[in-house]
A and B are shown apart, each in its own frame.
Chain A
Amino acid sequence: MATAVIKVKDMVKKFGSFVANDHLNFEVYEGEIFGFLGANGAGKTTAMRILCGLSTPTSGDISVGGFDIYTQTEQIKRNIGYMSQKFSLYEDLTISENIRFYGGIYGLPVKLRKEKEQVLLKKFHLEDQKNQLIASLPLGWKQKLSFSIAMLHDPKIIFLDEPTGGVDPVTRRQFWDLIYEAAAAGKTIFVTTHYMDEAEYCNRVSIMAEGKIAALDTPDNLKEQFGAEDMNGVFLKIARKL
Protein backbone atom coordinates (compact mmCIF):
# COMPACT_ATOMS: atom_id res chain seq x y z
CA MET A 1 0.00 0.00 0.00
CA ALA A 2 1.32 3.38 -0.99
CA THR A 3 2.20 5.89 1.71
CA ALA A 4 0.13 9.05 1.82
CA VAL A 5 2.32 12.16 1.94
CA ILE A 6 -0.55 14.63 1.81
CA LYS A 7 -3.58 13.88 4.00
CA VAL A 8 -6.61 16.11 3.86
CA LYS A 9 -9.62 15.42 6.10
CA ASP A 10 -12.69 17.64 6.12
CA MET A 11 -10.79 20.72 5.06
CA VAL A 12 -12.94 23.86 5.22
CA LYS A 13 -11.89 27.40 4.35
CA LYS A 14 -14.31 30.28 4.66
CA PHE A 15 -13.83 33.91 3.73
CA GLY A 16 -16.64 35.61 5.66
CA SER A 17 -19.80 33.81 4.59
CA PHE A 18 -18.17 32.49 1.40
CA VAL A 19 -17.09 28.85 1.57
CA ALA A 20 -14.07 28.50 -0.71
CA ASN A 21 -13.23 24.92 0.34
CA ASP A 22 -16.19 22.86 1.50
CA HIS A 23 -15.12 19.72 3.37
CA LEU A 24 -12.35 18.46 1.08
CA ASN A 25 -11.17 14.89 1.62
CA PHE A 26 -8.28 13.32 -0.28
CA GLU A 27 -4.84 11.80 0.02
CA VAL A 28 -1.84 12.06 -2.28
CA TYR A 29 0.61 9.16 -2.38
CA GLU A 30 4.37 9.15 -2.48
CA GLY A 31 5.78 9.24 -6.01
CA GLU A 32 2.41 10.07 -7.49
CA ILE A 33 1.61 12.67 -10.14
CA PHE A 34 -1.59 14.16 -8.78
CA GLY A 35 -3.58 16.47 -11.08
CA PHE A 36 -5.58 19.15 -9.32
CA LEU A 37 -8.14 20.55 -11.76
CA GLY A 38 -11.18 22.77 -11.59
CA ALA A 39 -12.85 25.78 -13.17
CA ASN A 40 -11.62 29.29 -12.32
CA GLY A 41 -12.96 30.20 -8.89
CA ALA A 42 -13.62 26.57 -7.87
CA GLY A 43 -11.25 26.89 -4.90
CA LYS A 44 -8.01 25.35 -6.22
CA THR A 45 -5.70 28.22 -5.33
CA THR A 46 -7.15 28.46 -1.82
CA ALA A 47 -6.54 24.75 -1.21
CA MET A 48 -3.05 24.90 -2.68
CA ARG A 49 -2.09 27.87 -0.48
CA ILE A 50 -3.20 25.96 2.60
CA LEU A 51 -1.21 22.87 1.61
CA CYS A 52 1.90 25.02 1.09
CA GLY A 53 1.55 26.46 4.59
CA LEU A 54 0.71 29.96 3.32
CA SER A 55 -2.84 30.08 4.64
CA THR A 56 -4.64 28.49 7.60
CA PRO A 57 -7.84 26.52 7.05
CA THR A 58 -11.01 27.32 9.01
CA SER A 59 -11.22 23.68 10.09
CA GLY A 60 -10.07 20.16 9.19
CA ASP A 61 -7.18 17.75 9.79
CA ILE A 62 -4.42 18.27 7.26
CA SER A 63 -0.83 17.10 7.11
CA VAL A 64 1.79 17.60 4.39
CA GLY A 65 4.93 15.47 4.34
CA GLY A 66 4.01 14.26 7.83
CA PHE A 67 3.81 17.81 9.22
CA ASP A 68 0.73 19.43 10.72
CA ILE A 69 -0.71 22.33 8.72
CA TYR A 70 -1.53 24.41 11.82
CA THR A 71 1.59 24.06 13.94
CA GLN A 72 4.41 23.05 11.59
CA THR A 73 4.15 25.37 8.59
CA GLU A 74 7.87 26.18 8.69
CA GLN A 75 8.80 22.49 8.42
CA ILE A 76 6.30 22.13 5.59
CA LYS A 77 7.87 25.01 3.65
CA ARG A 78 11.28 23.41 4.02
CA ASN A 79 10.02 20.08 2.65
CA ILE A 80 8.10 21.26 -0.37
CA GLY A 81 9.00 22.90 -3.66
CA TYR A 82 6.71 25.40 -5.36
CA MET A 83 6.66 26.73 -8.88
CA SER A 84 4.10 28.77 -10.74
CA GLN A 85 3.98 30.52 -14.06
CA LYS A 86 3.30 33.87 -12.46
CA PHE A 87 6.20 33.74 -10.04
CA SER A 88 9.33 31.90 -10.95
CA LEU A 89 12.78 33.38 -11.40
CA TYR A 90 14.25 36.87 -11.04
CA GLU A 91 14.43 38.33 -14.54
CA ASP A 92 17.20 40.79 -13.72
CA LEU A 93 19.52 38.21 -12.20
CA THR A 94 21.62 35.83 -14.29
CA ILE A 95 21.00 32.09 -14.51
CA SER A 96 23.85 31.42 -12.08
CA GLU A 97 22.72 34.13 -9.66
CA ASN A 98 19.19 32.72 -9.56
CA ILE A 99 20.45 29.24 -8.73
CA ARG A 100 22.75 30.59 -6.00
CA PHE A 101 20.06 32.91 -4.65
CA TYR A 102 17.49 30.12 -4.26
CA GLY A 103 20.13 27.79 -2.89
CA GLY A 104 20.74 30.40 -0.21
CA ILE A 105 17.04 30.90 0.51
CA TYR A 106 16.65 27.14 0.96
CA GLY A 107 19.60 27.19 3.35
CA LEU A 108 21.93 24.91 1.38
CA PRO A 109 25.59 24.92 2.52
CA VAL A 110 27.86 26.85 0.14
CA LYS A 111 29.63 23.72 -1.08
CA LEU A 112 26.38 21.94 -1.92
CA ARG A 113 25.06 25.10 -3.57
CA LYS A 114 28.06 25.16 -5.92
CA GLU A 115 27.69 21.46 -6.72
CA LYS A 116 23.99 21.83 -7.50
CA GLU A 117 24.72 24.84 -9.70
CA GLN A 118 27.17 22.81 -11.80
CA VAL A 119 24.77 19.85 -12.06
CA LEU A 120 21.89 22.06 -13.20
CA LEU A 121 23.93 24.03 -15.73
CA LYS A 122 25.21 20.79 -17.18
CA LYS A 123 21.81 19.12 -17.28
CA PHE A 124 20.36 21.93 -19.38
CA HIS A 125 23.56 22.59 -21.37
CA LEU A 126 23.60 26.15 -20.07
CA GLU A 127 27.26 26.29 -19.00
CA ASP A 128 28.06 28.88 -21.67
CA GLN A 129 25.01 30.99 -20.86
CA LYS A 130 25.28 30.98 -17.10
CA ASN A 131 26.02 34.72 -16.95
CA GLN A 132 23.06 35.70 -19.11
CA LEU A 133 20.07 37.40 -17.56
CA ILE A 134 17.00 35.21 -17.05
CA ALA A 135 15.04 37.80 -19.03
CA SER A 136 16.93 36.73 -22.19
CA LEU A 137 15.81 33.09 -21.98
CA PRO A 138 12.78 31.75 -23.93
CA LEU A 139 9.77 31.09 -21.69
CA GLY A 140 10.04 27.32 -22.01
CA TRP A 141 13.61 27.39 -20.76
CA LYS A 142 12.69 29.58 -17.82
CA GLN A 143 9.99 27.13 -16.84
CA LYS A 144 12.28 24.10 -17.03
CA LEU A 145 14.97 25.87 -15.04
CA SER A 146 12.45 27.16 -12.54
CA PHE A 147 11.15 23.63 -11.94
CA SER A 148 14.65 22.35 -11.25
CA ILE A 149 15.37 25.27 -8.93
CA ALA A 150 12.17 24.48 -7.01
CA MET A 151 13.83 21.11 -6.28
CA LEU A 152 17.25 22.46 -5.23
CA HIS A 153 16.63 21.63 -1.57
CA ASP A 154 15.52 18.09 -2.45
CA PRO A 155 11.89 18.42 -1.29
CA LYS A 156 9.61 15.39 -1.06
CA ILE A 157 6.64 17.16 -2.58
CA ILE A 158 6.53 19.64 -5.45
CA PHE A 159 3.59 21.93 -6.14
CA LEU A 160 3.30 23.11 -9.75
CA ASP A 161 0.73 25.83 -10.44
CA GLU A 162 -0.03 25.95 -14.17
CA PRO A 163 3.60 25.34 -15.07
CA THR A 164 3.07 25.08 -18.82
CA GLY A 165 0.74 28.00 -19.63
CA GLY A 166 1.70 29.66 -22.91
CA VAL A 167 4.63 27.30 -23.50
CA ASP A 168 5.08 25.93 -27.04
CA PRO A 169 3.87 22.37 -27.71
CA VAL A 170 7.31 20.76 -27.93
CA THR A 171 8.69 22.42 -24.78
CA ARG A 172 5.43 21.65 -22.96
CA ARG A 173 6.11 17.96 -23.53
CA GLN A 174 9.75 18.29 -22.51
CA PHE A 175 8.51 19.84 -19.28
CA TRP A 176 6.38 16.75 -18.65
CA ASP A 177 9.46 14.59 -19.22
CA LEU A 178 11.00 16.42 -16.26
CA ILE A 179 7.89 15.78 -14.19
CA TYR A 180 8.00 12.06 -14.98
CA GLU A 181 11.69 11.97 -14.18
CA ALA A 182 11.10 13.58 -10.77
CA ALA A 183 8.20 11.23 -10.00
CA ALA A 184 10.30 8.22 -10.99
CA ALA A 185 12.91 9.45 -8.48
CA GLY A 186 10.25 9.26 -5.75
CA LYS A 187 9.07 12.87 -5.71
CA THR A 188 5.38 13.55 -5.27
CA ILE A 189 3.99 15.97 -7.84
CA PHE A 190 0.91 18.09 -7.22
CA VAL A 191 0.05 19.90 -10.44
CA THR A 192 -2.66 22.22 -11.80
CA THR A 193 -3.22 22.79 -15.52
CA HIS A 194 -5.75 24.09 -18.01
CA TYR A 195 -4.51 21.71 -20.72
CA MET A 196 -6.79 18.70 -20.64
CA ASP A 197 -4.31 16.47 -22.49
CA GLU A 198 -1.96 16.98 -19.54
CA ALA A 199 -4.64 15.67 -17.18
CA GLU A 200 -4.14 12.33 -18.96
CA TYR A 201 -0.49 12.24 -17.88
CA CYS A 202 -1.40 12.25 -14.17
CA ASN A 203 -1.72 9.06 -12.11
CA ARG A 204 -4.85 10.42 -10.49
CA VAL A 205 -6.88 13.55 -11.09
CA SER A 206 -9.22 15.47 -8.81
CA ILE A 207 -11.69 17.95 -10.24
CA MET A 208 -13.07 20.73 -8.06
CA ALA A 209 -16.37 22.49 -8.62
CA GLU A 210 -17.88 25.14 -6.37
CA GLY A 211 -15.55 24.49 -3.45
CA LYS A 212 -16.01 20.71 -3.43
CA ILE A 213 -14.13 17.82 -4.97
CA ALA A 214 -16.58 16.64 -7.60
CA ALA A 215 -14.51 13.70 -8.82
CA LEU A 216 -11.26 11.95 -7.97
CA ASP A 217 -9.82 8.90 -9.74
CA THR A 218 -7.44 7.74 -12.45
CA PRO A 219 -8.04 9.36 -15.86
CA ASP A 220 -9.27 6.03 -17.29
CA ASN A 221 -11.77 5.48 -14.47
CA LEU A 222 -13.04 9.06 -14.70
CA LYS A 223 -13.67 8.68 -18.41
CA GLU A 224 -15.63 5.51 -17.76
CA GLN A 225 -17.53 6.98 -14.83
CA PHE A 226 -18.66 10.04 -16.80
CA GLY A 227 -19.06 8.28 -20.14
CA ALA A 228 -16.64 10.71 -21.77
CA GLU A 229 -14.16 10.09 -24.57
CA ASP A 230 -11.37 12.16 -23.06
CA MET A 231 -10.59 14.28 -20.00
CA ASN A 232 -11.95 17.39 -21.70
CA GLY A 233 -15.32 15.64 -21.85
CA VAL A 234 -15.09 14.70 -18.17
CA PHE A 235 -14.17 18.26 -17.23
CA LEU A 236 -17.01 19.82 -19.21
CA LYS A 237 -19.53 17.44 -17.67
CA ILE A 238 -18.45 18.23 -14.14
CA ALA A 239 -17.87 21.95 -14.44
CA ARG A 240 -20.98 22.54 -16.52
CA LYS A 241 -23.08 19.95 -14.72
CA LEU A 242 -24.33 18.44 -17.98
Chain B
Amino acid sequence: MIKVQHISKSYKEVQALKDLSFEVNKGELFGLIGPDGAGKTTLMRILITLLVPDEGSARMAGLDVVNDYKKIRQIVGYMPGRFSLYQDLTVEENLEFFATVFGTTIAENYDLIRDIYVQIEPFKNRLAGKLSGGMKQKLALSCALIHKPEILVLDEPTTGVDAVSRKEFWEMLKKLQKQEITILVSTPYMDEAGLCDRVALMQNGEILAVNSPSGIVAGYERRLVAVRSDNMFGLLHDLRSWDKTSTAYSFGEFIHFTSVSDGVEGAELERYLMEKEHKNLQVKEITPGIEDVFMDLMSGSSESSES
Protein backbone atom coordinates (compact mmCIF):
# COMPACT_ATOMS: atom_id res chain seq x y z
CA MET B 1 0.00 0.00 0.00
CA ILE B 2 2.96 2.27 0.73
CA LYS B 3 6.19 1.62 -1.12
CA VAL B 4 9.32 3.65 -0.38
CA GLN B 5 12.39 3.12 -2.56
CA HIS B 6 15.78 4.70 -1.89
CA ILE B 7 14.37 8.01 -0.66
CA SER B 8 16.89 10.71 0.31
CA LYS B 9 16.20 14.29 1.35
CA SER B 10 18.53 17.08 2.51
CA TYR B 11 17.93 20.51 3.95
CA LYS B 12 21.00 22.52 3.01
CA GLU B 13 23.88 20.59 4.61
CA VAL B 14 21.69 18.46 6.87
CA GLN B 15 20.83 15.08 5.40
CA ALA B 16 17.40 14.37 6.86
CA LEU B 17 16.77 11.06 5.10
CA LYS B 18 19.48 8.70 3.89
CA ASP B 19 18.45 6.18 1.26
CA LEU B 20 15.33 4.76 2.94
CA SER B 21 13.41 1.77 1.59
CA PHE B 22 10.47 -0.11 3.10
CA GLU B 23 6.91 -1.19 2.37
CA VAL B 24 3.65 -1.04 4.30
CA ASN B 25 0.99 -3.64 3.53
CA LYS B 26 -2.70 -2.96 3.07
CA GLY B 27 -4.57 -2.77 6.36
CA GLU B 28 -1.39 -2.69 8.38
CA LEU B 29 -0.77 -0.52 11.45
CA PHE B 30 2.82 0.51 10.80
CA GLY B 31 4.91 2.55 13.23
CA LEU B 32 7.87 4.86 12.60
CA ILE B 33 9.67 4.77 15.94
CA GLY B 34 12.45 7.20 16.77
CA PRO B 35 13.48 10.33 18.66
CA ASP B 36 13.14 13.92 17.43
CA GLY B 37 15.40 14.53 14.47
CA ALA B 38 15.21 10.93 13.22
CA GLY B 39 13.48 12.06 10.00
CA LYS B 40 9.97 10.79 10.73
CA THR B 41 8.18 14.02 9.83
CA THR B 42 10.22 14.57 6.66
CA LEU B 43 9.41 11.07 5.48
CA MET B 44 5.70 11.54 6.20
CA ARG B 45 5.61 14.89 4.42
CA ILE B 46 7.11 13.28 1.33
CA LEU B 47 4.50 10.50 1.44
CA ILE B 48 1.59 12.92 1.70
CA THR B 49 3.05 14.98 -1.18
CA LEU B 50 3.96 18.12 0.76
CA LEU B 51 7.67 17.65 0.08
CA VAL B 52 9.52 16.34 -2.95
CA PRO B 53 12.37 13.87 -2.31
CA ASP B 54 15.86 14.66 -3.65
CA GLU B 55 16.35 11.07 -4.72
CA GLY B 56 14.35 7.88 -4.88
CA SER B 57 10.64 7.30 -5.34
CA ALA B 58 7.58 6.42 -3.30
CA ARG B 59 4.12 5.13 -4.09
CA MET B 60 0.93 5.45 -2.09
CA ALA B 61 -1.74 2.94 -3.18
CA GLY B 62 0.17 2.56 -6.43
CA LEU B 63 0.29 6.33 -7.09
CA ASP B 64 3.59 8.19 -7.44
CA VAL B 65 4.13 10.85 -4.77
CA VAL B 66 5.54 13.35 -7.28
CA ASN B 67 3.50 12.81 -10.45
CA ASP B 68 0.16 11.78 -8.97
CA TYR B 69 0.11 14.13 -6.00
CA LYS B 70 -3.44 15.38 -6.65
CA LYS B 71 -4.86 11.85 -6.60
CA ILE B 72 -2.94 10.94 -3.48
CA ARG B 73 -4.35 13.90 -1.59
CA GLN B 74 -7.86 12.51 -2.22
CA ILE B 75 -7.12 9.16 -0.61
CA VAL B 76 -4.85 10.12 2.28
CA GLY B 77 -5.82 11.47 5.69
CA TYR B 78 -3.11 13.37 7.55
CA MET B 79 -2.85 14.51 11.13
CA PRO B 80 0.19 16.75 11.61
CA GLY B 81 2.21 16.87 14.80
CA ARG B 82 1.11 20.41 15.55
CA PHE B 83 -2.57 21.16 16.01
CA SER B 84 -3.51 22.81 12.74
CA LEU B 85 -7.27 23.05 12.64
CA TYR B 86 -9.02 26.40 12.54
CA GLN B 87 -8.98 27.68 16.11
CA ASP B 88 -11.66 30.28 15.40
CA LEU B 89 -14.13 27.81 13.96
CA THR B 90 -16.25 25.58 16.18
CA VAL B 91 -15.77 21.83 16.44
CA GLU B 92 -18.62 21.16 14.04
CA GLU B 93 -17.57 23.90 11.60
CA ASN B 94 -14.08 22.40 11.37
CA LEU B 95 -15.46 18.98 10.61
CA GLU B 96 -17.91 20.38 8.04
CA PHE B 97 -15.13 22.38 6.42
CA PHE B 98 -12.94 19.34 5.89
CA ALA B 99 -15.87 17.26 4.67
CA THR B 100 -16.77 19.97 2.13
CA VAL B 101 -13.20 20.40 0.89
CA PHE B 102 -13.13 16.68 0.10
CA GLY B 103 -16.57 16.79 -1.54
CA THR B 104 -18.39 14.76 1.07
CA THR B 105 -20.65 15.33 4.08
CA ILE B 106 -20.42 14.48 7.76
CA ALA B 107 -23.50 12.27 7.43
CA GLU B 108 -21.99 10.20 4.62
CA ASN B 109 -19.01 8.96 6.60
CA TYR B 110 -20.34 9.40 10.12
CA ASP B 111 -20.00 5.65 10.83
CA LEU B 112 -16.26 5.86 10.48
CA ILE B 113 -15.78 8.64 13.02
CA ARG B 114 -18.70 7.88 15.35
CA ASP B 115 -16.67 6.25 18.15
CA ILE B 116 -14.26 9.17 18.25
CA TYR B 117 -16.60 12.04 17.47
CA VAL B 118 -19.31 11.17 20.05
CA GLN B 119 -16.77 11.99 22.74
CA ILE B 120 -16.48 15.60 21.55
CA GLU B 121 -19.97 16.04 20.07
CA PRO B 122 -21.33 17.55 23.33
CA PHE B 123 -18.89 20.42 22.67
CA LYS B 124 -19.63 20.80 18.96
CA ASN B 125 -20.43 24.51 19.31
CA ARG B 126 -17.22 25.29 21.14
CA LEU B 127 -14.35 27.00 19.28
CA ALA B 128 -11.60 24.51 18.45
CA GLY B 129 -9.03 26.81 20.07
CA LYS B 130 -10.81 26.43 23.41
CA LEU B 131 -10.63 22.63 23.53
CA SER B 132 -8.39 20.64 25.88
CA GLY B 133 -5.42 18.77 24.41
CA GLY B 134 -7.18 15.42 24.38
CA MET B 135 -10.27 16.85 22.69
CA LYS B 136 -8.22 18.67 20.04
CA GLN B 137 -6.55 15.39 19.24
CA LYS B 138 -9.92 13.64 18.77
CA LEU B 139 -11.19 16.46 16.56
CA ALA B 140 -8.02 16.40 14.45
CA LEU B 141 -8.39 12.65 13.98
CA SER B 142 -12.07 13.05 13.03
CA CYS B 143 -11.13 15.69 10.44
CA ALA B 144 -8.40 13.47 9.01
CA LEU B 145 -10.92 10.64 8.61
CA ILE B 146 -14.00 12.45 7.33
CA HIS B 147 -13.29 11.72 3.64
CA LYS B 148 -12.82 8.00 4.35
CA PRO B 149 -9.15 7.84 3.38
CA GLU B 150 -7.50 4.59 2.29
CA ILE B 151 -4.32 5.57 4.11
CA LEU B 152 -4.11 7.47 7.38
CA VAL B 153 -0.85 9.25 8.25
CA LEU B 154 -0.43 10.38 11.86
CA ASP B 155 2.60 12.40 12.92
CA GLU B 156 3.34 11.90 16.62
CA PRO B 157 -0.29 11.91 17.75
CA THR B 158 0.67 10.96 21.32
CA THR B 159 3.63 13.28 21.98
CA GLY B 160 3.17 15.26 25.18
CA VAL B 161 0.04 13.25 25.94
CA ASP B 162 -0.29 11.49 29.31
CA ALA B 163 -0.10 7.71 29.67
CA VAL B 164 -3.85 7.24 29.99
CA SER B 165 -4.80 9.31 26.93
CA ARG B 166 -2.05 7.59 24.97
CA LYS B 167 -3.54 4.20 25.77
CA GLU B 168 -7.00 5.38 24.69
CA PHE B 169 -5.63 6.80 21.45
CA TRP B 170 -4.05 3.49 20.50
CA GLU B 171 -7.31 1.71 21.24
CA MET B 172 -8.98 4.07 18.74
CA LEU B 173 -6.35 3.24 16.12
CA LYS B 174 -6.89 -0.49 16.59
CA LYS B 175 -10.60 0.02 15.91
CA LEU B 176 -9.92 2.07 12.78
CA GLN B 177 -7.62 -0.63 11.50
CA LYS B 178 -10.59 -3.03 11.47
CA GLN B 179 -12.25 -0.69 8.91
CA GLU B 180 -9.46 -1.66 6.50
CA ILE B 181 -7.60 1.61 6.68
CA THR B 182 -3.83 1.41 6.34
CA ILE B 183 -2.26 3.42 9.14
CA LEU B 184 1.23 4.94 9.25
CA VAL B 185 1.94 6.43 12.67
CA SER B 186 5.09 7.93 14.19
CA THR B 187 6.07 8.11 17.86
CA PRO B 188 9.11 8.82 20.03
CA TYR B 189 7.73 6.48 22.73
CA MET B 190 9.45 3.11 22.37
CA ASP B 191 6.80 1.34 24.43
CA GLU B 192 4.22 2.14 21.73
CA ALA B 193 6.12 0.07 19.16
CA GLY B 194 4.59 -3.08 20.65
CA LEU B 195 1.13 -1.87 19.64
CA CYS B 196 1.97 -1.80 15.91
CA ASP B 197 1.86 -4.73 13.47
CA ARG B 198 5.28 -3.78 12.16
CA VAL B 199 7.67 -0.95 12.89
CA ALA B 200 10.64 0.85 11.40
CA LEU B 201 13.15 2.00 14.02
CA MET B 202 14.62 5.32 12.87
CA GLN B 203 17.61 7.39 13.97
CA ASN B 204 19.46 10.23 12.24
CA GLY B 205 17.68 9.79 8.92
CA GLU B 206 18.33 6.07 8.74
CA ILE B 207 16.23 2.99 9.30
CA LEU B 208 17.91 0.75 11.86
CA ALA B 209 15.47 -2.14 11.46
CA VAL B 210 12.06 -3.03 9.99
CA ASN B 211 10.14 -5.91 11.49
CA SER B 212 7.25 -6.97 13.71
CA PRO B 213 7.78 -6.01 17.36
CA SER B 214 8.45 -9.65 18.25
CA GLY B 215 10.80 -9.97 15.27
CA ILE B 216 12.71 -6.88 16.40
CA VAL B 217 13.16 -8.34 19.86
CA ALA B 218 14.11 -11.76 18.47
CA GLY B 219 16.90 -10.09 16.49
CA TYR B 220 18.64 -9.08 19.71
CA GLU B 221 21.40 -11.59 20.22
CA ARG B 222 23.02 -10.37 23.41
CA ARG B 223 22.53 -11.69 26.90
CA LEU B 224 20.59 -9.08 28.87
CA VAL B 225 20.52 -9.04 32.66
CA ALA B 226 18.30 -6.93 34.92
CA VAL B 227 19.85 -5.86 38.22
CA ARG B 228 18.57 -3.93 41.22
CA SER B 229 19.64 -3.21 44.78
CA ASP B 230 18.77 -0.79 47.58
CA ASN B 231 21.21 1.77 46.22
CA MET B 232 20.40 2.18 42.54
CA PHE B 233 22.62 5.19 41.91
CA GLY B 234 25.61 3.43 43.48
CA LEU B 235 24.75 0.30 41.54
CA LEU B 236 24.81 2.17 38.25
CA HIS B 237 28.15 3.67 39.15
CA ASP B 238 29.66 0.33 40.19
CA LEU B 239 28.46 -1.37 37.03
CA ARG B 240 29.83 1.36 34.80
CA SER B 241 33.24 1.25 36.43
CA TRP B 242 33.56 -2.54 36.06
CA ASP B 243 35.90 -3.61 33.28
CA LYS B 244 33.58 -6.49 32.31
CA THR B 245 30.63 -4.19 31.67
CA SER B 246 29.65 -3.38 28.11
CA THR B 247 26.50 -1.33 28.84
CA ALA B 248 24.54 -0.43 31.98
CA TYR B 249 21.38 1.64 31.53
CA SER B 250 18.57 2.52 33.91
CA PHE B 251 15.24 0.97 32.97
CA GLY B 252 12.65 1.99 35.52
CA GLU B 253 13.30 0.10 38.73
CA PHE B 254 16.03 -2.07 37.19
CA ILE B 255 19.35 -1.50 35.49
CA HIS B 256 19.81 -3.43 32.26
CA PHE B 257 23.30 -4.82 31.98
CA THR B 258 25.29 -6.42 29.18
CA SER B 259 28.83 -7.66 29.58
CA VAL B 260 31.81 -7.55 27.28
CA SER B 261 31.29 -10.27 24.64
CA ASP B 262 28.49 -11.60 26.87
CA GLY B 263 31.06 -13.58 28.81
CA VAL B 264 29.84 -12.88 32.36
CA GLU B 265 27.63 -15.38 34.18
CA GLY B 266 25.00 -14.12 36.63
CA ALA B 267 26.92 -15.61 39.55
CA GLU B 268 30.07 -13.66 38.71
CA LEU B 269 28.12 -10.42 38.44
CA GLU B 270 26.46 -11.13 41.79
CA ARG B 271 29.82 -11.82 43.44
CA TYR B 272 31.23 -8.54 42.13
CA LEU B 273 28.25 -6.56 43.43
CA MET B 274 28.26 -8.35 46.82
CA GLU B 275 31.86 -7.21 47.21
CA LYS B 276 30.62 -3.67 46.63
CA GLU B 277 28.23 -4.26 49.54
CA HIS B 278 24.96 -3.97 47.68
CA LYS B 279 21.96 -4.98 49.79
CA ASN B 280 18.85 -6.80 48.57
CA LEU B 281 20.52 -7.58 45.29
CA GLN B 282 18.39 -9.01 42.48
CA VAL B 283 19.98 -10.37 39.32
CA LYS B 284 17.96 -12.04 36.57
CA GLU B 285 18.33 -12.71 32.89
CA ILE B 286 15.53 -11.10 30.88
CA THR B 287 14.18 -10.84 27.36
CA PRO B 288 14.81 -7.37 25.93
CA GLY B 289 12.22 -4.75 25.08
CA ILE B 290 12.11 -2.58 21.95
CA GLU B 291 14.03 0.16 23.76
CA ASP B 292 16.92 -2.23 24.59
CA VAL B 293 17.14 -3.22 20.94
CA PHE B 294 16.93 0.39 19.80
CA MET B 295 19.79 1.43 22.05
CA ASP B 296 21.85 -1.53 20.90
CA LEU B 297 21.24 -0.67 17.23
CA MET B 298 21.98 3.02 17.92
CA SER B 299 25.42 2.22 19.24
CA GLY B 300 26.14 0.21 16.12
CA SER B 301 24.85 2.78 13.61
CA SER B 302 27.25 5.07 11.78
CA GLU B 303 26.33 8.11 13.85
CA SER B 304 25.25 7.94 17.46
CA SER B 305 23.53 10.73 19.37
CA GLU B 306 26.95 11.76 20.58
CA SER B 307 28.04 12.94 17.18
Which A residues are closer than 8 A to B by beta carbons? 38-41, 138-140, 162, 165-171, 173, 176, 180, 184, 194-197, 200-201, 219-220, 230-232, 235-236, 239-240
Q: Which residues of A lie under 8 Å from residue B305 when comparing CB positions?
A: 138, 140, 168, 170-171
Contact B133 A196 (CB under 8 A): no
Cα-based distance from A173 to B251 in the complex (angstroms): 9
CB closest chain-B residue, reference A198: B252
Q: Which residues of A lie under 8 Å from residue B253 when comparing CB positions?
A: 200, 219-220, 230
| B160 CB-CB contact with A under 8 Å | yes
Number of interface residues of B (CB under 8 A): 36
Task: Report which of A162, A180, A184, A240 forms a contact with B164, defined as CB distance below 8 A.
Answer: A240
Cα-based distance from A194 to B132 in the complex (angstroms): 17
| B163 CB-CB contact with A under 8 Å | yes
Contact A231 B294 (CB under 8 A): no
Cβ of A183 to closest chain B Cβ, rounded Å: 9
Cα-based distance from A209 to B36 in the complex (angstroms): 29
Q: Which residues of B lie under 8 Å from residue A173 when comparing CB positions?
A: 249-250
Cβ of B8 to closest chain A Cβ, rounded Å: 20
Contact A41 B132 (CB under 8 A): yes
Contact B188 A165 (CB under 8 A): yes
CB closest chain-B residue, reference A44: B162
Task: Report which of B132, B188, B233, B298 forms a contact with A166, defined as CB distance below 8 A.
Answer: B188
Given A166-B35, A168-B203, A169-B190, residue A230 in contact with residue B252 (CB < 8 A): yes
Q: Which residues of A lie under 8 Å from residue B251 when comparing CB positions?
A: 197
Contact A40 B165 (CB under 8 A): yes
Cβ of A128 to closest chain B Cβ, rounded Å: 13
Q: Which residues of A lie under 8 Å from residue B133 when comparing CB positions?
A: 40-41
Cβ of A65 to closest chain B Cβ, rounded Å: 24
Contact B161 A40 (CB under 8 A): yes
Q: Which residues of A lie under 8 Å from residue B34 when comparing CB positions?
A: 168
Contact A165 B165 (CB under 8 A): no
CB closest chain-A residue, reference B203: A168
Q: Which residues of B lie under 8 Å from residue A197 when comparing CB positions?
A: 250-252
Name A's interface SS. helix
Contact B164 A166 (CB under 8 A): no
Q: Using an 8 Å CB-CB cutoff, how does the interface string of B202-246 with A read, 1 for contact, 0 for none? A: 010000000000000000000000000000110000000000000
Cα-based distance from A211 to B34 in the complex (angstroms): 33
Contact A167 B162 (CB under 8 A): no
Task: Report which of B38, B163, B233 forms a contact with A196, defined as CB distance below 8 A.
Answer: B163
Cβ of B148 to closest chain A Cβ, rounded Å: 29
Task: Report which of A166, A176, A184, A232 forms a contact with B163, defined as CB distance below 8 A.
Answer: A232
Cβ of B130 to closest chain A Cβ, rounded Å: 13
Given A39-B164, A41-B132, 5 more A-B residue pairs with CB atoms under 8 Å apart are A39-B162, A41-B133, A168-B34, A168-B298, A239-B162
Q: Which residues of A lie under 8 Å from residue B166 when comparing CB positions?
A: 194
Q: Which residues of B lie under 8 Å from residue A167 when comparing CB positions?
A: 35-36, 188
CB closest chain-A residue, reference B232: A201
Q: Which residues of A lie under 8 Å from residue B190 when comparing CB positions?
A: 169
Q: Which residues of B lie under 8 Å from residue A219 when comparing CB positions?
A: 253
| B266 CB-CB contact with A under 8 Å | no
Cβ of B165 to closest chain A Cβ, rounded Å: 6
CB closest chain-B residue, reference A237: B164
| B118 CB-CB contact with A under 8 Å | no
| B291 CB-CB contact with A under 8 Å | yes
Q: Which residues of A lie under 8 Å from residue B100 when comparing CB positions?
A: none
Contact A194 B163 (CB under 8 A): yes
Cα-based distance from A78 to B249 in the complex (angstroms): 35
CB closest chain-A residue, reference B240: A177
Task: Report which of B37, B160, B163, B295 forms a contact with A236, defined as CB distance below 8 A.
Answer: B163
CB within 8 Å of A: which of B140-196?
159-167, 188-190
CB closest chain-A residue, reference B158: A194
CB within 8 Å of A: which of B22-54?
34-38
Given A40-B132, A41-B134, A201-B250, residue A170 in contact with residue B161 (CB < 8 A): no
Contact A169 B294 (CB under 8 A): yes
Contact A194 B295 (CB under 8 A): no
CB closest chain-B residue, reference A181: B233
| B304 CB-CB contact with A under 8 Å | yes
Contact B233 A231 (CB under 8 A): no
Cα-based distance from A211 to B38 in the complex (angstroms): 36
Contact B160 A196 (CB under 8 A): no
Cα-based distance from A146 to B35 in the complex (angstroms): 18
Cβ of A118 to closest chain B Cβ, rounded Å: 22
Cβ of A147 to closest chain B Cβ, rounded Å: 16
Contact A162 B160 (CB under 8 A): yes
Cα-based distance from A36 to B305 in the complex (angstroms): 28
Cα-based distance from A39 to B133 in the complex (angstroms): 11
Cα-based distance from A166 to B37 in the complex (angstroms): 9
For the complex of A and B, 7 pairs with smallest distance between CB atoms: A168-B35, A197-B252, A166-B36, A200-B252, A39-B162, A239-B164, A139-B36
